[in-house]
Amino acid sequence: MATPFDRRTLDVGDGHRIYIEQSGHPQGQPVVVLHGGPGSGSSPYMRRFFDPDHYRLVMFDQRGCGRSRPNASVTANTTQHLIGDIRKIRQELGIDRWMVFGGSWGATLALAYAQTFPDEVQGLVLRGVFLGRQRELDWFYAGGAGRFWPDLWARFCAPIPPEERGDMIAAYHRRLFCDDWRREAEHALPWLLWENALAVMQGDASSHVPPDYARAFARLENHYFINRVFLEEGQLLRNRHLIEHIPTVIVQGRYDMVCPPISAWELADGWRLADLRMVSGAGHALSEPGIATELIRVMDALRG
């Protein structure tokens, strides 16, 4: 993995400063990475998918998370704000058009950005597709995935009184935004562990998560989900025609319990330039061996 040749922060307004880093070839083929969550932040691990002798890799931490400031802030933090930030970063770096690489929430944001500014996008590489629809939120937070993972679902529900469990997103929202840092952090951990535990085919998520990270992740993700990711229901599928001229590769784990494969299938169905690659024996996480191998294969094939 290449060491970044450029690190900077960009004032995007509304009191937010965004952390940006570039690595790889300074004059290479530009690609921007959109991390998941919302709220997870970027990671050096993400660099491993890109040939540093070919790609000019741009990574950044979205509003409120990672090294962007203020941490855990949901003020002026919507999908539309993030789309604007992506465009500001492109302009700041003097890039005309770039490839967009995103997984999970990053795939949602990649689609929303491409549909808003299609002329800025050379290609899309999506992983673990999440389209932000109510049925997808219900799957994960209204007991659907819990039918496969009843023990972990019980752990997720445990901090919430039975009478509030009919709307787990709202119940957690009351606790993650209660103006008591300690209480917010205590409820952030089970929110984070529920998602992390289902992201991989083998193993369980570690409970040793820094409280600041867990709180930022949980607050941002909950904020987006209680607001239906600030998109109209079905918007990304309905507006697919705006980006059907853009070559797209979709890498999807066959056993993805966080973002079930039906969303990737529906997105690709009838899209001539979309190449859907179902990875057998793989779940959701970027670190899943089958997912990682396929993404490296895709990015190597797209050089030039």
Positions marked catalytic: 104, 256, 284
DSSP class of residue 69?
B
| 134 and 142 Cβ atoms separated by less than 8 Å | no
| φ and ψ at residue 44, rounded to 5 degrees | -55, -25
Contact 98, 90 (CB under 8 A): yes
Burial tier of 143 (Cβ tally within 10 Å: 0-12, 13-18, 19+): middle
**Alpha carbon distance 83, 90 (integer Å):** 11
> Three-state SS for 21?
strand
Helices (H), the chain: 79-92, 105-116, 134-141, 150-157, 168-176, 181-199, 211-226, 235-238, 262-268, 289-301
User: The tokens of 54 are what?
Assistant: 């070919």
Report the alpha-carbon distance of residue 264 to residue 287 in Å, rounded.
19
Q: Which two tokens stand for residue 245?
A: 């001229």
Radius of gyration, CA atoms only, the chain: 18
Q: In this structure, are residues 62 and 82 in contact, taking their beta carbons and an 8 Å threshold? A: yes
